[in-house]
Amino acid sequence: MPTHGLQSIFKSKCSSDNALGRRLQAAPELLCWAMVRKPRVSNYDILLRAMRELRPVSAVYGGHYREMCPHVLGRKRDRLHCLFYQYGGESSAGPVRDGSPENWRCIPVAELTALRIHEGPWHWGPSGHGGTQTCVDVVEAVAGRKTLGASLGPDAASP
């Protein structure tokens, strides 16, 4: 459990001499950690931000580390999916070669782990990746559009 910079918070908010600490003698640090750490940002929100800012992401999917650019985000059969252009990392077929039209990926958003926005150039991918995308039936966001997320309903963030 990371403690860097949080020790003073634990001592002030979660010390064993306060009421909370007395009630949780078994493992007060676990509850205190949950109380002071930042809320988790959803994969959906991370992808929306990356698409607005045209910034690449990295993630693990299918057991493989991938570097990708999210292009289309939406729903297919009531599940969130994203159409990515993968330009780095690996896939089930091995290392990825940037520039290949075979690098388009349709990935269920809920199955991405360790999703992070990172610095680097945006990759639009080669044109002619098969014409019309079939990754999502209901498009909620497209990379580079100024109105990303504007028309989403209140349940848009849930997978």
Query: Does position 135 have pLDDT exceeding 80, yes or no?
Result: yes
Same domain, 16 and 79: no
Domains of the chain: total: 2
Same domain, 29 and 81: no
Q: What's the farthest any 2 CA atoms get from each other in the chain?
A: 65
Query: Which pTM does this prediction carry?
Result: 0.67
Q: Which residue has the tokens 């639009």?
A: 124
Q: Which domain holds residue 14?
A: 7-36
The residues pairing with 142 across neighbouring beta strands, listed in sequence order, are: 72
Residue 1 lies in a domain: no
Residue 156 lies in a domain: no
pLDDT digits (tens, 9 = 90+) for 39-93: 678 999 999 999 999 999 999 999 999 999 999 999 999 999 999 999 999 999 9
Query: What phi and psi, each to the nearest 5 degrees, are found at residue 147?
Result: -100, 25
Task: Say which amino acid occupies 72.
Answer: V
DSSP the chain: ---TTTHHHHHHHS-TTSHHHHHT-S-HHHHHHHHHSPPPPPHHHHHHHHHHHT--EEEEETTEEEEEEEEEEEEETTEEEEEEEEEEEEETTEEPPTT-GGGEEEEEGGG-EEEEE--S------S-SSSS--S-SEEEEETT-TTTTTT--TTTT--
Same domain, 133 and 67: yes
Same domain, 90 and 29: no
pLDDT at 33: 47
